[in-house]
Amino acid sequence: MSLELDQFRFKSWFCCVTLHKRLSLSEPWFVKYRDNTNDKQWWVWVSLSAFLHPRARVGTMSPAIALAFLPLVVTLLVRYRHYFRLLVRMVLLRSLRDCLSGLQIEERAFSYVLTHALPGDPSHILTTLDHWSSHCEYLGHMGPVKGQILMRLVEEKAPACVLELGTHCGYSTLLIARALPPGGRLLTVEWNPRTAAVAEKLIRLAGFDERTVELIVSSSEEVIPHLQTQYQLSQVDLVLLAHRPRRYLRDLQLLEAHALLPAGATVLADHALFPGAPRFLQYAKSCGRYRCRLHHTGLPDFPAIKDGIAQLTYVGPG
């Protein structure tokens, strides 16, 4: 057992003992677990459980109890500071600005692009979005590191038709459109009408017309079954999953069920590790229909938070 884990367990144990004595509990409920685990997450849970014990919520907590938990709280804040910063920037500050401005973050980003980017220059528009996300508001977009991976894969595969699920502000859409071979076609799907309206403006501002990039405003589960009949899309050479990770598996199985993936087709899944799509990855590895590879990266502006793009190559029905 590491010295670091011993220290962490001691802090948690001290919190539990202190609270037990303070509340005069009839049974030290945590004793039987003292030597049964080395899992650090378990000791976090034990400490917080002690803190939230029903007897602990009665009356006012004494300073001694608060001080007993201070080392644990400080340890958690230091260790997970990157996640705390992400929470503040992506949730708290964004919600505040949404309320104050009455605009979504994508709309505020597009206003910045209009005044700082060069129309008709996709590269400059992407750089402007990166700068705005780093210095103004965290956009939560794909970012330049993942963007280079995406463009390289699109250029290598040279797909005649690409399907993107999750347009968002249009950042990854521009990356794909730039890397398409001559005559290539991109269909991108966004369920939020306000976000889709911003993405449409950004795509046209970059100089791509509807023959190259077609934006569909609908949910992925409604669009996929009608791609062949309504959008004249017989099969898809490359798919980018960039909407909600919990929907990746459902949409992958829809693509399979409607025979939209030819042998050799590539499926890319953003945010494969954070927030993560474990059921999707488990299915892809175990079903026998895909060769899998993971491109490890970090989040834009938060490189310490590990993420990645999953690359699946379809080999045919199992």
Mean pLDDT by 10 residues, the chain (318 residues): 46 46 42 44 47 47 73 84 91 94 96 97 98 95 96 97 97 98 97 97 97 97 96 95 97 97 97 95 96 96 95 91
Q: What domain count does the chain have?
A: 1
Look at residue 10 in the predicted model and tell me its pLDDT. Answer: 45
Q: Are residues 19 and 51 in contact, defined by beta-carbon separation less than 8 angstroms?
A: yes
The answer to the question of residue 126 being in a domain is no
In a domain, 58, yes or no: no
Task: Indicate whether 276 belongs to any domain.
Answer: yes
Dihedral-angle region of residue 189 (phi above 0 means left; psi in -120 to 50 means alpha; beta otherwise): beta
Residue 61 confidence (pLDDT): 58
Q: Is the pTM of this model over 0.85?
A: no
112 in a structural domain: no
Q: Is 171 among the domain residues?
A: yes
Nearest to 50 by CA among 21, 85, 16, 75: 16
Per-residue model confidence (pLDDT) at position 37: 44
Is residue 285 assigned to a domain? Answer: yes
305: containing domain: 142-314
User: Which CATH number belongs to the domain containing residue 232 in this structure?
Assistant: 3.40.50.150
Residues near 35 by beta carbon (within 8 Å), at least 6 away in sequence: none
Query: In angstroms, how far is CA 299 from the centroid of its own chain?
Result: 9
- Note whether residue 273 is domain-resident: yes
**Can you list the positions of beta strands (E) in 167-289?**
185-190, 213-217, 238-241, 266-269
User: Do the domain assignments include residue 42?
Assistant: no
pLDDT the model gives residue 72: 82
213-229 pLDDT, tens per residue?
999 999 999 999 999 99
